[in-house]
Amino acid sequence: MLAYRHAFHAGNHADVLKHLVLTQVLRYLGEKDKPYWLIDTHAGAGGYDLHSRHAQQHAEYLDGIGRLVERDDLPPAVDDYVEIVRQHNPGGVLKHYPGSPAFARALMRPQDRLRLYELHPTDHRLLLRSFGGQPHTEVHAVDGFAALKSQLPPPSRRAAVLMDPPYELKADYGRVVAALREAVQRFAEGVYMVWYPQLQRLESQQLPQRLKGVAPKGWLHVRMTVARPVEAGFGLLGSGLFVINPPWVLHDTLAEVLPWLTEVLAQYDGASYLLEQHTV
């Protein structure tokens, strides 16, 4: 149950999409002076050594951030995301990939609050070492699904939630829906970002439709498919994010970026993307 470690996948195409969206959401929330909270239910280690044996086992980052970091033709939103990665790699050599907490810290202001949850003992220890002493930041070795309700609504009535469990257990799909439903009931105004893997698995394929039933005030769904399906049915084809209460500018930003990004990260000729939105 606690076998998954993101270090094997750090910086891959799924991280690119997830952290691109996270960057845009936090930029938007930071436009108002009033503080906001970011609650990361599955924070991982917070940052990853791309030269470690874990990252080098499949070197997935080479087909993700590795295809972007040295380019000089990045669209503005992609450049904004990549610049944060560059800040973690002084000297210009790609050695480190920041996790979601590191992206958050790069974008959040002194008045904002960061709440991080991670159950894996090794990753929690690394997360605590990097973020435990930072101001307005809490790091907990607690189940993020269960803890979410205790954080909502935040005193400032402004918050974003990032939910990206490993989905190694089929039960995670149901737990995502249940946790999100309860969170929206407690705090309908929050921005909720749910990352999911695109797999040849029914639970993965059905998740976006299930999430649409939990979003009373509008949603955005983005998915990027970069790898060819294989006959055995295994492997990560791509990934998606389902955003409840998305910033109003997010759809247009992604519509401009996705054709370019999909072409650059494609691993076969049939790579594609999906962008859909519902507003009320």
15, 40, 112, 164: which one is catalytic? 164
**Cα dist. 268→225, 238, 239, 265 in Å?**
10, 12, 15, 9
Question: Degrees (nearest 5) of the Cα angle 94, 241, 223?
Answer: 85
* DSSP codes joined into one string, 3-50: ---GGGTTTSHHHHHHHHHHHHHHHHHTTSSS--EEEESS-TTSEEET
CA 226 to chain centre: 17
Contact 48, 55 (CB under 8 A): yes
Give the whole-angstrom CA distance, residue 179 versus residue 151. Answer: 12
103, amino acid identity: F
Indicate if 164 belongs to the active site.
Answer: yes
| Token pair recorded at residue 46 | 């917070």
Helix (H, G, I), strand (E, B) or coil at 196: strand
**Cα dist. 175→92, 138, 151 in Å?**
40, 23, 17
Q: 43-58 in b/e burial notation, b at 16+ Cβ within 10 A? A: bbbbbbebeeebbeee
Helix (H) or strand (E) holding 126, with range, is: helix 121-131
Pairing of strands 37-40, 238-244: unpaired
Catalytic residue numbers?
A: 164
